Amino acid sequence: MIAKMTAAVRRGPSALVVALSIASLCLVWGSTWLVIREGLADLPPFRSLALRFLLAGVAFAVVAPALAAVEGGRRPSLRLTLVHGVLILAVPYGVIYWVETRLPSGLVSVLWSIFPLLTAVGAHFMLPDERMAPRQWLGLLGGFAGVALMFATDVSAIGREALPAGLILLLSPLVSAVGTNLLKREGGGTSSVLLNRNGMFVAVVLVGALALVTESEVPLRWTPRAIFSVAYLALVGTVFAFGVYFWLLRHAPATRLSLIAYCIPVVALTLGATLGGEPVGRNTIAGMVLILAGVGLVMVGRTRPVRPAPGGPAAPLEAP
């Protein structure tokens, strides 16, 4: 009996468990966009985000010692902690929260889905083993054609503030892509659990300072909706989702994990339309198809089974 149990552990989780875990990530990360928007009806963006990071950081601090012992890996350096806290968390998330006060959540999620394209381009220049082939450059052009279509139609139709807000939004996946490639290049063997815990508190300080400067006179309305938003985004959208993602990195092929990139904007757009009353037109769908087709061309041939060494520096790659 013991031998059978040991063999089962070595084999890892079943295909069904892996599939359900990936589906849970798609649903959770697809839902965060609408939950962010709903919370911003009662809370200013930067204080809302700082509270989310604080709650998530405390939760990570509680579970990090046990998880880090299982994961292995060395403690993150100050440089890696700052890269994670600033480039993966504070700046990208801060931009998303601010933009969601001006643009529909589903539209924001679709525009943000160019992140894998920007990551691939950054890897081409920053990581010698990840050069892009001509087919992948074609995918990049197709993805940005989808972005251009959405700016020319959906974004411009919202109003005068929408266009600059949409352009500012593109800084979020760009900065996150740079941070992700820096972690991949320099963070091998670093504990991802400790890296996320430390990065959360760096982000709390930065976003909290920004909130203090820009939102000191904006009132907080602690409605049930606001409380749910902060708690859900911190505990489910961050701690739970990060934990499942890190676990999947050790047990699922990258080809399956890449499905998350395709599912999240679809889920976010669907929830925004059905539960949030956000408009979804033909141009939105066409733009999303172009972007995801471009992502497909870029990712095909780059995905391979992931079996990272203990303490890989992986960061969630898909959504806030």
Q: What is the pLDDT of residue 45?
A: 97
Q: What count of other Cβ atoms lies within 10 Å of the Cβ of residue 265?
A: 27
33 alpha carbon, distance to own chain's centre: 10
With 0-12 / 13-18 / 19 or more C-beta atoms within 10 angstroms meaning exposed / middle / buried, residue 129 is exposed
Mean per-residue pLDDT pooled into runs of 10, the chain (320 residues): 43 81 92 96 96 95 85 88 95 97 94 91 86 87 92 90 94 94 88 90 97 91 95 94 81 74 91 92 90 85 45 52
Q: What is the pTM of this model?
A: 0.89
Domain boundaries, the chain: 29-299
Q: What is the pLDDT of residue 11?
A: 59
247 alpha carbon, distance to own chain's centre: 16
Q: Are 99 and 171 in contact (CB under 8 A)?
A: no
Q: What is the pLDDT of residue 303?
A: 47
Supply angle C-alpha 114, 312, 203, rounded to 5. 60
Q: Tell me, what amino acid is at 245? A: Y
* Six-digit token string for 116: 């894998």
